[in-house]
Amino acid sequence: MKPTLLVLAAGMGSRYGGLKQIDGLGPNGEIIMDYSINDAIRAGFGKVVFVIRHDFEDAFKSVINAEHFGNRIQVEYVYQELDYLPEGFSVPEGRVKPWGTNHAILMAKDVINEPFAIINADDFYGRDAFQVMGDHLRTLENAKGQYCMVGYCLENTLSENGTVSRGVCEVNEQGLLTGMTERTNIGRSGNIIQNTNPDGSTIELAPDTTVSMNLFGFTPDYFAESEKLFVEWLRERGSEMKSEYYIPFAVNTFIANGYATMRVLKTTAQWFGVTYKEDRDMVVDRLRKLHEQGIY
C-alpha cells in the first residue's frame, strides 16, 4: 500500500497573483512544490492530489502535471470553491473568505481511499519529514482514527524578518498529541523565543517546543468524520463572514471526544517558507546549499 499526498494549493492564486508569478526559488528555477513532490516520491508515496480552484486550473495544469514530475507519480486534481458545501447549506451573502484548510481536505473525499498526508503547497518541509510520515502511514492500512503529524522544533521554523503563527503542541509520554493551541506573534527577543499576547503580555517558549506546520497524516475515515463535524460547525459559525474550519479544530475535537489519537512523529528536518518578502533571499540561499550538498 502506497500512501497519498494531498497538497493544499487553492490559495496560490490569491497569494501570488496567479500561478505564472510563482517564484522559481531553486537554482534551476524550481518552485517549492518540486522539492515536496520529489521528497514524497522518494519516501514511497504513490499519488499526489492537488486542491486547486477553477479560476487558475488551466495555468496550474499546464505546469504541474504528471509529466512535470517525470511521470513518477500519479497526479489528480480536486477543486475548492466557496459554494462547495454540505446539502442544506449556502454561502452567506457577502462572504468571500474561503472556508479554511479542513474544508479543503474534504474536497478530496472521492479520490482518496488510503492513508494520506497533507501539506501546504508553498512550504518546504524537508526530506526527513516525508520519510518519517510515509513510513508511518504504511503501517495504517485498514486503520481508523489513528492519525499522526510531524512535529517540528519551534526554533527550526522561525523567520528572522518578523513574527509567525504556530500550532503549539502538547504531547504526552506515549508520544500522542493531547492538544494544540494556535499562537500568533511568536518571534525572537534577544536570546529567547516568546509569544506576545494581544494584551501585550508575553510567554517564553522553549526552542525545542513541538509545533505543527500542517504536515498531518490521516486514515480515510477522516473524511466522513470531518464532514459530520463541518455540518455542526456550519450551524454554529457558518453565518460569520471570516470564520474558517481549520484542521486543528477538528483534530482537537476528535482527540477530546475519544474518536481518534494523533501520534507526533519527530523529524530532524528544518521547515522554511516565504512568510515575508524579506525571507525570499534566505530560501534561495538554503535551496542553493541543499543542491551543493547533493541532496537535490
**pLDDT tens, 45-85?**
999 999 999 988 988 888 888 888 889 999 999 999 999 99
Architecture of domain 4-292: Alpha-Beta Complex (3.90)
**Stated pTM of the model:** 0.91
DSSP code of 48?
E
Q: What is the identity of the amino acid at 12?
A: M
Strand 210-218 relative to strand 164-171, pairing: antiparallel
pLDDT in tens, the chain (296 residues): 999 999 999 876 555 555 544 678 899 999 899 999 999 999 999 999 999 999 889 888 888 888 888 899 999 999 999 999 999 999 999 999 899 999 999 999 999 999 999 999 989 999 999 999 999 999 999 999 999 999 999 998 998 888 998 989 999 999 999 988 888 899 998 899 999 988 889 999 999 999 999 999 999 999 999 999 999 999 999 999 999 999 989 999 999 999 999 999 999 898 998 878 888 899 999 999 999 999 99
Provide the residue ranges of all domains of the chain, joining segments of one domain with +: 4-292
pLDDT at 277: 80
**Of 88, 77, 70, nearest in space to 52 by CA:** 77
Smallest Cα–Cα separation from 229: which of 103, 91, 89, 78? 103
Reported as a single tens digit per residue, the pLDDT across 219-265 is: 999 999 999 999 999 999 999 999 999 998 999 999 999 999 999 99
- Close Cβ partners of 194 (under 8 Å, ≥ 6 residues apart): 186, 187, 188, 202, 203, 204, 205
